[in-house]
Amino acid sequence: MIIIKNKIYLLFLLALLSSCYKGKKVDLIIHNAQIHCMNNDKIVQAMAIKNGKIVEIGANQQILNKYSANKTIDAKGKEIYPGFIDAHGHIMSYINQKLSVDLTACTSYDEMILKVKSYQKENNYEVIIGHGWDQSIWGKQEGFPDNKSLNKHFPDIPVCLYRIDGHSALLNDCMLDLIQIDTVKQIKGGEIIKKDNKLTGILIDNALSLLKSHLPKYPFTKKLSALKEIEKELLSFGITGVHEAGISNEDLIFLKSVINKNILSLNIYAMLLPDKKNINFAKKHGIYTNKNLSVRSFKVYGDGALGSGGALLKEPYINKLNYNGLLLTPINEIKELSMLCEQIGYQLNTHAIGDSMVNIIMDIYKELNEVNKDHRSRIEHIQMIDQGDLINLGNYGIYPSIQPSHAVSDYRWVENKIGKNRLSKAYAYKSILENSGIICVGSDFPFGNLNPFKTIYAGVNRKNSNEQPNNGFLPNESIKMEDCIKGMTIWAAISSFNEKEFGSIEKGKDATFTILEKPLVVSDKYLENNAWKTFILGKEKYCSDEF
């Protein structure tokens, strides 16, 4: 009888121990994976998740023996990465582009006209807005187009068509009349292009501000529909966060609204444009966090774009006599904004493309760094930089924000603007990384393609997805795949003060990650890839099996 009781007790004890050992309940277990942690070179097989956080990572047996869950996913050996972060994107601009006529694929002026006609026939708007034309792919077109053909086909309705970089636009005469362009003498930091003393319809950089009050505002429901499309597209590529590079107060109100209603799941790091309402918001709220929206930075436009001829260069453009580009924001205003940022705990992120603008902003950042070593000042784009400024990137605590897609789209025309001798200064991503020790990587969507696998391919091979140019553009400035991925995960999180929440896969961090459909590799040929599943805070937000 005693032996039987002892056996029963022993069986009970074993069951209890087994229950305790495997009794830690979690919400989700993922196993049979290759999990790239990104905070180091570690690759593990499994992880346990509870309440949106990573509880533990480790080997399959370790996790499966220790935890139980209502849902378990066999990852089938697929690769898992922290959710990709597009460190420089424009969701609000993409919404506007989706609601306007898309001109990105037009290979001629005539095709652009046909696209606009078709769009207007379907929508019948009082003002026509388009985005994305690029004269560099129009064959024999040299320089900016004029509006003669636009006037012929649209004589009675205002038309405004933005170039692909968003820094210039082509307007018909009807739109020029609407904004009363004949009363404008000069625009500081902008250009109104004339030929033979006649308006061509081209406005550049700050001259575009003349349009602001005359452009149509899209209804909330249409903007929301476009936003949902954009979020789905981003999630399908494993992108779980976006550094929204410059929003107005109106845009901020829209984002706050959709986030308060739990409509948007993406992590948004919003850079405020320094208008009066945004400055008042920042002074009142300081560092602002609302669910998945984080606001603690200003974005200032230092200069324009190379493609539109607005980037501020140390030496003149070779295709425009005695012309060095445009300073869009006066230096004293940038200095004032930098001091405000430091006072309220904000970061200053400056759009600086030309080498002269980069030099100017680095002097300002040097002063910031002397006050606060952890200000994390960012230079957005940094497409041209001198050797002397390269060396000081790390010395001044600067976080370079680069977009590899720019190098492989601009190669067609950049030499015609800056000359062969200055190419060594251009799109120098490897040199930038070597001197700064960190980069954050984005796409500049919708002005660039948001597909992160195209971004990685461009960064590594210096080619676009059509594998052009053949030998890569300035291939000595290629960056490693691992560094490109870090620039879209852990380094992007650090550059937005979010490294404690996400950017790597480790215990205690948000369970925000993507399971890729195919292995992430870069070969001589561009390989398509996408997310199999994408999770934010432990919740599945996208699954390719459902589409």
User: Sign of the CA dihedral 251, 118, 106, 318?
Assistant: negative
Q: Assess whether 67 and 150 both reside in one domain.
A: no
Note if the bond before 446 is cis, omega within 30 degrees.
yes
Residue 181 lies in a domain: yes
- Beta strands (DSSP E) in 324-377 are 347-352
Judge contact between 292 and 266, C-beta under 8 A: yes
What digits encode the pLDDT tens for the residues 507-537? 999 999 999 999 999 999 999 999 999 999 9
Range in 1-5, 275-279, 319-323, 522-526 with the lowest mean pLDDT: 1-5
CATH number at residue 193: 3.10.310.70
Global pTM reads 0.94
Residue 17 sits in the same domain as residue 69: yes
Q: What is the pLDDT of residues 79-130, one digit of tens each?
A: 999 999 999 999 999 999 999 999 998 999 999 999 999 999 999 999 999 9
What CATH number is associated with residue 46? Answer: 2.30.40.10
The secondary structure of residue 155, as a DSSP letter, is: S
Q: Which of 77, 108, 136 is the last residue of a domain?
A: 77
In a domain, 130, yes or no: yes
Averaged pLDDT for residues 128-147: 90
Given 50, 77, 104, which residue is the final one in a domain? Answer: 77
Is residue 411 within 8 A of residue 420, CB to CB? The reply is: no
Whether the predicted pLDDT of 16 surpasses 70: no
Residues 100 and 68 in one domain: no
Quick one: average pLDDT of 350-379? 97
Regarding predicted confidence, which is higher, 182 or 350?
Answer: 350
CA dihedral in degrees (77, 82, 87, 90; nearest 10)? Answer: 80
For residue 22, the model assigns a pLDDT of 56
- What's the pLDDT band for 7 if we cut at 50, 70, 90? low
pLDDT at 4: 46
Distance, CA of 500 to CA of 504 (rounded, Å): 9
Task: Tell me if 135 is assigned to some domain.
Answer: yes
Residues 73 and 144 in one domain: no
∠ CA(149), CA(150), CA(153), 5° rounding?
85
What mean pLDDT do residues 126-152 have? Answer: 92
Is the domain of 67 the same as that of 96? Answer: no
Do residues 95 and 42 share a domain? Answer: no
If asked whether residues 31 and 105 sit together in one domain, one would say no
Residues 101 and 207 both lie in one domain: yes
Domain-located, residue 20: yes
Same domain, 56 and 165: no
Task: Identify the domain boundary among 34, 50, 77.
Answer: 77
- Could you tell me if 172 and 73 lie in one domain? no
- Whether 512 maps to a domain, the answer reads no
Residue 77: exposure state from Cβ atoms within 10 A (0-12, 13-18, ≥19): exposed
3-class secondary-structure state, position 479: coil
Average pLDDT over residues 273-296: 98
Domain extent for 64: 2-77
Looking at the predicted structure, is the pLDDT value of residue 367 above 50?
A: yes
Average of per-residue pLDDT values in the chain: 94
Domain presence at residue 383: no
Q: CA-based Rg of the chain, rounded to a whole angstrom?
A: 26
97 domain residue, yes or no: yes
How many domains is the chain partitioned into structurally? Answer: 2
| Residue 362 domain-assigned (yes or no) | no
Clarify whether residues 21 and 130 are in a common domain: no
Same domain, 136 and 51: no
